């Protein structure tokens, strides 16, 4: 096998998805480089994930930091162009749908370097979501489209992507979850944050919920009403912390606001929760496998398999409290008997086989 694989990661969901892929390619003897863009740079959003997930330290940390979508993407393009030129990889592997993913795919395409997209083909059909713009563009640039759920295959076909580029591999985020499942300790996490035995976990960071003060106020009103039913554990992402705080989330009765958590600590809280309220795509997937009821504060989801094969339900702010009340009154295990196809903890090795086979023929 010839050729170097360069992975680009930038945010905590990227780290969770990349860990099993990097490990499987290492076991296959692949020459790898790991580039961290620094899109998430706080120790609690970045460094702790590398330690807990046994990811190798990045060969390069570009330290791009935060900024507007345009500024961040532009800075990433410049920095990644230099990195790709210096490293000369045979294949660039990108993950998910964040700005780092788009910038890496575009920089690679401009340099004539093939791209593999892990989590290709997901669609919310909501172009107001920055992530939807990113994922659509990346899929048009990618040589290998590594798909986590069957409906993504149809989306890519309708967009004209050749079928021989598309591979259903399962979900590497679930590989990571299953690998660390025995380390998730709900009782210890609950005690660490002085939570009652029954609680719900809340995560909010999407622009639609936290960038607009009016939307943030609606979300916070719904959450403060929800806290009358059950205590809420709210690890606050730096994005939107100020807006949600100004809207009245901090200090509301029954609302336990905390700093961002490491992967094991956060998943321990999720595993023990009576319900999860979120706008995160990854959390929709994790709760599906854990069997924890999930209420997603969005009008659309790019992961409908979490609704059809999991525990997820889409709700608006006005629907949250009735939906939560119904969830809390329902028997705990309401999962479908069969989970999503190939969410079995073996996506990393499947991806490694596809990548190494591609390298053997192209590098």
If asked whether residues 46 and 150 sit together in one domain, one would say: yes
Over range 3-32, report the average pLDDT.
96
337 domain-assigned = no
Can you tell me the distance from the alpha carbon of 260 to that of 256, in angstroms, rounded to the nearest whole number? 12
If asked whether residues 16 and 157 sit together in one domain, one would say: yes
pTM: 0.94
290 domain-assigned = yes
If asked whether residues 85 and 153 sit together in one domain, one would say: yes
If asked whether residues 117 and 212 sit together in one domain, one would say: no
188 domain-assigned = yes
If asked whether residues 92 and 16 sit together in one domain, one would say: yes
Judge whether 173 and 257 are in contact, CB under 8 Å.
no
pLDDT value, residue 30: 97
If asked whether residues 151 and 63 sit together in one domain, one would say: yes
Residue 263 bridge partners (DSSP): none
Single out the residue of 99, 171, 161, 160 nearest to residue 135, CA to CA: 99
199 three-class SS: strand
177 domain-assigned = no
235 domain-assigned = yes
In this structure, what token pair is assigned to residue 205? 């960071």
Can you tell me the distance from the alpha carbon of 55 to that of 50, in angstroms, rounded to the nearest whole number? 5
206 three-class SS: coil
If asked whether residues 128 and 268 sit together in one domain, one would say: no
pLDDT value, residue 51: 86
Question: Catalytic one among 167, 205, 237, 256?
Answer: 205
338 domain-assigned = no
If asked whether residues 56 and 140 sit together in one domain, one would say: yes
Torsion angle in degrees (nearest 10) through CA of 294, 295, 299, 302: -10
179 domain-assigned = no
pLDDT in tens, 214-261: 999 999 999 999 999 999 999 987 767 788 888 899 888 999 999 989
1 pLDDT exceeds 80? no
Q: How confident is the model at residue 75 (pLDDT cuts 50, 70, 90)?
A: very high
Residue 200 bridge partners (DSSP): 232, 275
Over range 37-43, report the average pLDDT.
64
If asked whether residues 70 and 122 sit together in one domain, one would say: yes
Q: By CB neighbour count within 10 A (0-12 exposed, 13-18 middle, 19+ buried), where does 168 fall?
A: middle
Q: Residue 223: give the domain boundaries.
A: 184-328
Percent of the chain scoring above 90 in pLDDT: 80
| Number of H-type helices and E-type strands within the chain | 16, 13
pLDDT value, residue 23: 97
Judge whether 4 and 31 are in contact, CB under 8 Å.
yes
If asked whether residues 157 and 10 sit together in one domain, one would say: yes
Q: By CB neighbour count within 10 A (0-12 exposed, 13-18 middle, 19+ buried), where does 239 fall?
A: middle
42 pLDDT exceeds 70? no
pLDDT value, residue 160: 97
Over range 23-48, report the average pLDDT.
82
Number of domain units in the chain: 2
Percent of the chain scoring above 70 in pLDDT: 95
Task: Look over the chain and give the mean of its residue pLDDT values, rounded to a whole number.
Answer: 93
pLDDT value, residue 295: 98
192 pLDDT exceeds 90? yes
If asked whether residues 136 and 234 sit together in one domain, one would say: no
Q: How confident is the model at residue 283 (pLDDT cuts 50, 70, 90)?
A: very high
If asked whether residues 29 and 139 sit together in one domain, one would say: yes
Over range 258-286, report the average pLDDT.
95
310 three-class SS: coil
pLDDT value, residue 338: 76
pLDDT value, residue 354: 98
185 pLDDT exceeds 70? yes
205 is catalytic: yes
Can you tell me the distance from the alpha carbon of 111 to that of 82, in angstroms, rounded to the nearest whole number? 10
Cβ neighbours of 329 (radius 10 Å): 8
pLDDT in tens, 303-319: 999 999 989 999 999 99
Q: By CB neighbour count within 10 A (0-12 exposed, 13-18 middle, 19+ buried), where does 355 fall?
A: buried
176 domain-assigned = no
Beta strand pairing status for 144-147 and 255-258?
unpaired
Among 3-7, 35-39, 220-224, the minimum mean pLDDT is found in 35-39
Query: Side-chain half-sphere of 262: how many Cα atoms within 13 Å?
Result: 15
57 backbone dihedrals φ, ψ, rounded to 5°: -60, 140
Can you tell me the distance from the alpha carbon of 230 to that of 363, in angstroms, rounded to the nearest whole number? 55
355 pLDDT exceeds 70? yes
44 pLDDT exceeds 90? no
Over range 139-162, report the average pLDDT.
98
pLDDT value, residue 331: 65
Q: What is the CATH number of the domain that holds 91?
A: 3.40.50.2000
């Amino acid at each position: 096998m010839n050729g170097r694989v360069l992975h680009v990661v930038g945010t905590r969901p990227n780290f969770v998805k990349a860990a099993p892929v990097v490990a499987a390619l290492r076991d296959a003897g692949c020459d790898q480089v790991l580039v961290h863009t620094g899109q998430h740079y706080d120790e609690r959003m970045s460094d702790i994930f590398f330690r807990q997930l046994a990811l190798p330290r990045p060969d390069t940390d570009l330290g791009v930091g935060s900024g507007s979508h345009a500024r961040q993407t532009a800075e990433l393009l410049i920095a990644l162009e230099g990195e790709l030129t210096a490293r000369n990889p045979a294949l660039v592997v990108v993950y998910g749908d964040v700005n780092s993913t788009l910038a890496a795919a575009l920089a690679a395409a401009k340099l004539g370097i093939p791209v593999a997209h892990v989590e290709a083909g997901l669609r919310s059909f909501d172009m107001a979501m920055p992530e939807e713009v990113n994922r659509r563009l990346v899929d048009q640039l990618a040589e290998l489209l590594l798909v986590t759920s069957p409906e993504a295959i149809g989306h890519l076909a309708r967009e004209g992507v050749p079928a021989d580029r598309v591979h259903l591999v399962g979900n590497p985020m679930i590989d990571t979850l299953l690998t660390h499942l025995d380390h998730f300790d709900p009782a210890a996490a609950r005690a660490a944050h002085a939570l009652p035995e029954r609680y719900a976990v809340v995560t909010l960071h999407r622009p639609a919920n936290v960038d607009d003060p009016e939307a943030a106020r609606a979300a916070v009103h719904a959450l403060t009403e929800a806290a009358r039913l059950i205590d809420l554990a709210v690890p606050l992402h730096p994005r939107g912390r100020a807006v949600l705080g100004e809207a009245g989330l901090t200090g509301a009765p029954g609302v336990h606001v905390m700093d961002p958590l490491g992967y094991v600590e956060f998943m321990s809280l999720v595993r023990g929760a009576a319900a999860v309220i979120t706008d995160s795509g990854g959390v929709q997937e994790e709760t599906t496998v854990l069997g924890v009821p999930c209420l997603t504060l969005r009008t659309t989801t790019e992961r409908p398999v979490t609704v059809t094969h999991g525990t997820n339900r889409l709700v608006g702010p006005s629907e949250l409290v009735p939906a939560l009340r119904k969830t809390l009154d329902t028997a705990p295990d309401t999962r479908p008997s069969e989970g999503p196809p190939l969410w079995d903890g073996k996506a990393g090795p499947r991806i490694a086989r596809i990548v190494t086979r591609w390298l053997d023929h192209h590098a």
